[in-house]
Structure 1
Amino acid sequence: MKRILLALGLFLSSVFGAEFYMPPYETLIFDVQNGEAVIADNPAIMVGSAGIVMHDFGNGENAIIARAVVSEKSGAKAKIRFEVFGMLEQKALPLPKILPANGDKVILNYLYDRALIVAPNAEIYAQIVQAFPNIEFIHPDLGGAYLRLNSKPNPSRDDFRKICAKNSTGLIFVAMNEKSVFADCGSFKPLRTYESGKVAYYTLPFYSRVGDIKTVFWDFTNGPISDYDKHYSYLLGLDDE
């Protein structure tokens, strides 16, 4: 037990006192073509950070018409690509047919004050929440309940995107052995990486109080995670680095 407590303390020591602050950044888009646009660059944004495109109808009303992801930064400009914004999707309502145009407003780092948390055990979960008091972490029970309801013991990027959308969350925080990452919940692009300690033990697929998450008996392709760190490193694209 002492060894476990020591390991947990060491895990937190290098993360504690760390900060994550990416405030919303608003600007107009221009040079729109082929599903991309150019914006003025700003230190507040990073490649992989994302947000929304707002269209002003000129009558005092505006609406979200697309999702925007920063794909490139060069000099004083940055390039964004457009994606379908599914967070407010309603099956009874059609998707907006208005495409982004020059002069529309983009708000990047959208919902970056809320994060889904993926932690290997209860102790590390509690310590991470304490380490980042400026972030509102969504309790992992909400993610665990979604996975259990959908028989997903092996969560994919798309599963986490749906969980984030249901909880109006822009970020995902993943704590792994000797490394922890804040990533955009849509692009899964790592935005901040922290050196952390060793993980003493794992709860799979991540810590929650939901209990065992089992697949349906006829699904032979969606078995439980066998290696926590390998699984989440793959989802975050860290294996390609």
Structure 2
Amino acid sequence: MKIIFVIFALAMSAFTANLTEQITKLTNLTANNKEATINLGNLKIGQSGIVINNDLQGKQVILCYATVISSDNNNSIIKFDFREIIEQSAIPKTKLLPKNGDTFIINHLYKNSMIIAPNFKAITKIKQLYSNFNFLDIDLFGAYLKINNTPAPKKEDIVTFAHLNDLGSIFLVENKNLHILDAISLTKIETIPFEIDDNTTISPFQTNVED
């Protein structure tokens, strides 16, 4: 039992490392201003972050989102995403475009998350394992779906809700696995085995919001 626990703990440690914010600079910006290179390697396709310009009299300004589209041992290529960015008082937005030398923060807001799981016990276990994450109450998502008359959430519902609430990642329990999804691209960043001694399943997910 101890061996299993140690292996699981090591897996969780490596898993969490992939969710940590890292800061780097843009290089080799393409002529069409759609892609750039960053000097971080071995990233997951679909990992996202934000591009920041800090040349405006020392102020940091969010320019856009960006998502990893390819990665090797040394570098990665990111594609810019100019969807509307929710304003933050600390970092305002602008109409400026990215340029070489601008800052890229990968895994931005990954620790702001939401758990979609079949029962309360699964949610509790995840919160214990990831105690340094800020998990939004799933009932807020349930209420959002009810207001929009969407009992079974679709991909666009999750992306829109995550965007409105500044979530960087989504924890999804499915078929005895725990998946971490990037909230911008909604691609799986990591998957680990996840079992609990509770087979209760609440459809489409655990929430106190009634239909």
TM-score tier by shorter-chain length is 0.7 to 0.9
1:207 matched to which residue of 2? 206
Q: Shift of the alpha carbon at 1:16?
A: 6.8
Aligned equivalents of 1:58, 1:149: Cα separation in 2: 41
2:22 matched to which residue of 1? 25
Conserved 8 A contact 1:174-1:182: yes
2:64 matched to which residue of 1? 66
Q: Is there any run of 5+ residues in structure 1 with no aligned partner, and where? A: 1-12, 213-241
Of 171, 185, 188, which aligns to 1:187? 185
- The sequence identity of aligned pairs, in percent, is 30
1:41 matched to which residue of 2? 40
Aligned equivalents of 2:7, 2:75: Cα separation in 1: 32
Structure with higher Rg: it is 1
Q: Shift of the alpha carbon at 1:174?
A: 0.3
Kindly provide the amino acid, as one letter, of the partner of residue 46 in structure 1: K
- Ranked by relative contact order (alpha carbons within 8 Å, sequence separation 6 or more), the top structure is 1
Of 96, 100, 103, which aligns to 2:101? 103
Once superposed, which parts of structure 1, at least 4 consecutive aligned residues long, lie more than 3 Å away? 13-17
Q: Shift of the alpha carbon at 1:195?
A: 1.1
Q: Alignment partner of 2:29: what SS?
A: strand
Aligned ranges for residues 2-17 of structure 1 at < 5 Å?
17=9
Aligned equivalents of 2:174, 2:203: Cα separation in 1: 12
Aligned equivalents of 1:87, 1:208: Cα separation in 2: 28
Conserved 8 A contact 1:54-1:64: yes
Q: Alignment partner of 1:32: what SS?
A: coil
Aligned equivalents of 1:14, 1:128: Cα separation in 2: 17
Aligned ranges for residues 66-215 of structure 1 at < 5 Å?
66-88=64-86, 96-197=94-195, 200-212=199-211
| TM-score for the superposition, normalised by structure 2 | 0.83
Aligned equivalents of 1:55, 1:187: Cα separation in 2: 22
